[in-house]
Amino acid sequence: MMRQFELVERVKRYHPDADEDLLNRAYVYAMKAHGSQKRASGDPYFSHPLEVAAILTDLHVDDQTIAAAILHDTIEDTGTTREDIASRFGENIADLVDGLTKIKKLDLVSKKAAQAENLRKLLLAVAADARVLLVKLADRLHNMRTLHFVPPDKRARIAEETLEIYAPLAGRIGMQDMREELEDICFRVLSPDAHLMMVKRLQALKERAGGLIQLIEKDLKSKLVANAIPGEIKGREKRVYSIWRKMERKSVSFEQLSDIFGFRVVVTSVEDCYRALGIIHQAWPFVPGRFKDYISTPKQNDYRSVHTTVVGPKHQRVELQIRTREMDAVAEFGIAAHATYKDGKSSAEGGGESNAYRWLRRTIELLAEGDNPEEFLEHTKLELFQDQVFCFTPKGLLIALPRSANPIDFAYAVHTDIGNNAVGCRINGRNSPLISELQNGDEVEILTTEGQVPPSAWENMVVTGKARAAIRRATREAVRKQFVGLGRRIVERAFVRAEKKFSEEKLVSALPRLARATLDDVLTAVGRGEMYSGDVVKAVFPDFREEVSKAGAQGTGKGWFGVQGEKKLKFKVPGQEGAAGSIPIRGLSDDLPVRFAPNGGAVPGDRIVGILTPGEGITIYPIQAPALMAYDEEPWRWLDVRWDTDEHDPRRFWVQIVVSVINEPGSLAEIARVIADTDANIDNIAMRAKTADFREMILDIEVWDLKHLNAIMSELRAKPMVASVERVIG
């Protein structure tokens, strides 16, 4: 276990002016607070925060962050409070430690929800101070290094969480080495056989290559010296999980990979980067399509380098990354390399926050808007996609998106309003579908129209968390507006029936009695059928007494339709059985009785199937009828049938629909009028109370075909008293 003076020395090596007294006090306080606590390994618990602090000293973070790392588990695992930390070490360190403390005693329905809420708390703390994330990642790294001491049933869960959340977070803020180590440990835990196979293949490749890495390093160095370019060469090999992921993503074999061996060429200036690139391309042929310039177009995590792949000595493909020393520091340490943190604010050396931290903070602010815990967790994972494409607006603004993103994602990345109003797009000047997959360098123009509502189907088409969250919010808001409008009509008519004047001001004053926060909440509840409109009138006018009782309106007495309970008004019953010749369907024999499905019927235009029942005959069902699932294991009963209608001898066919309407006088007459005006017949009507403010009509109607039926349903949906219209399919 690291001693007190060793910790201070490690910090002072890179930060000579560090507050030695602060570090000593934090060391002693945490050691006493954790006391005799033990880790799963049997080591003193205090060894864990010390190891976390040691990891952070390698990142050259400030003394306050080191102190917070030493103290990071005191609030969660000891009797220490935030107030104790604040009084002894100041508000900044107290905020850091509190941001790292998990939420306890959560009243949540699932472990996933608890995980999401703890992640939400962490990320909100990160938005205020990025040092919280540095400590959390170091904490997670040490926990993963000692994961073999954890009970087996917990290892997979911790590894999955790390692979889905914390490793991508490390990559997003530029801490690539930490990300790769976390991924490798997770890979070993979750897929031990695949991990062992990759280790063996990588070892075999190194043995076959012999001294190839040293040969290439020497050759590169000599070329830089010969051209008077000062710099250094760092040889490396790709990590096993990175190799595995690339093989999976691109569906290629181990032998087809071109960047298992890689080299970093670190020079002194940007000009030298491009000079070195020219020298390397003159010496060795480069592989087409394998050149990327992240200096002119940096990644969102501030990563900058020139990448190229060449065919080097012994015909070995080699990836080269050419960068300056400053770029190399950012690539190695991420935001910790170029940010000095003072009073909880990050600033780059040149002033202002880093792109990586700005992205992180902006993303967290978007994620924190309202969604339930599971949605928040899903959106966070989506936002952590690492592989990116870079596209441009017509004005040249660079937009970075995950691979497989489409113009809908692009529109929401530019602005939520543009996404919500999008109706089309042009990619590189050509009209293209909104679901086109974007490629690097595409110029995307989004076509918009005011007042659009994004289709809910878009939610399954997009890949970014921001787009998915915005579509869900817009869809929910559109549905809510519909219920608000419907609820307003119901409430206004309830006031008319009560012979009272409707007043929004009076209704707002009655909100406490209705247990709702806003007027729209009341109207939405009424529109959804969750609140009776008579209760709204009574909340505004407590002395009001309805002549028609609420119980009666609900179906136990006389309601607005004059229907008690459920009553069927029978007009006529269409013939449903008979010889095959009486029903215009091909594929049937004339000696079997035929009938339509008892629930819902079928009409020309439906795809249909016949089901044979020995001794009873054949029943015709629409192909989408749920009842057909009962015959999945009896294929011998299925008959291939088709409609055989004659346009010169038209016939009507019965079908059943359910119409939900506002409970008010005249609704039945209006529904009947629509059906009559659209040239259809009503066979039967059954009515039942759905809620106090709504009635449900089950109508058997006769129509010519499916097109005729759809037209009727559209006309009904357009009526203001109609809440919904659905077809019944047996």
CA distances from 209 to 201, 247, 251, 320 (A): 12, 20, 24, 17
Phi, psi of 124 (to 5 degrees): -65, -35
Tell me how far CA of residue 316 lies from CA of 13, 132, 308, 312, 713, in angstroms. Answer: 41, 43, 14, 5, 68
Which of 403, 396, 405, 475 is CA-nearest to residue 443?
396
**What's the one-letter identity of residue 709?**
L
**Would you give the DSSP letter of residue 38?**
B
C-alpha atoms less than 13 angstroms from C-alpha of 109 in its C-beta half-sphere: 3
Nearest Cα neighbor of 112 from 404, 422, 374 is 374
Closest CA to 289 of 265, 274, 307, 275: 307
Structure tokens at 677: 């005006």
- Alpha-carbon gap, residue 492 to 670, rounded angstroms: 19
CA angle 397–403–407, rounded 5-degree value? 55
Closest CA to 90 of 112, 63, 117, 57: 63
Is the Cβ–Cβ distance between 137 and 169 less than 8 Å? yes
**Using only C-alpha atoms, what is the Rg of the chain?**
35
DSSP string, 94-128: HHHHHHTSPP-S---SSHHHHHHHHHHHHHHHHHH
109 CA to centre of own chain: 20
Count CB neighbours of 645 within 10 A: 17
Q: Please indicate whether residue 302 is annotated as part of the active site.
A: no
- Is 76 known to be catalytic? yes
Cα 268 to chain center, whole Å?
Answer: 42
Count of CA atoms in the C-beta half-sphere (13 A) of 354: 29
Q: What is the dihedral of CA 106, 110, 114, 119, to 10 degrees?
A: -160
Q: Where does residue 344 fall: left (phi above 0), alpha (psi -120 to 50 degrees), or beta otherwise?
A: left
Contacts of residue 159, defined as CB under 8 A and 6 or more positions apart, other chains included, come to 144, 147, 185, 186, 189, 190
Contact indicator for 491, 533 with CB cutoff of 8 Å: yes
Catalytic residue of the set 20, 58, 76, 117: 76
What lies within 8 Å, CB to CB, of 515 at 6+ separation is none
DSSP string across 479-515: HHHHHHHHHHHHHHHHHHHTT----HHHHHHTHHHHT
Q: Which of 19, 20, 58, 77 is catalytic?
A: 77
Cβ 388 vs Cβ 402: under 8 Å: yes
3-state secondary structure of 230: coil
Sign of the alpha-carbon dihedral angle for 499, 504, 505, 509: positive
- Tally of CB atoms within 10 A around 379: 23
Give first-to-last CA distance, the chain, whole Å: 71
CA 451 – CA 635 distance, rounded (Å): 50
State the Cα–Cα distance between residues 158 and 156, nearest whole angstrom: 6
Active site residues: 76-77
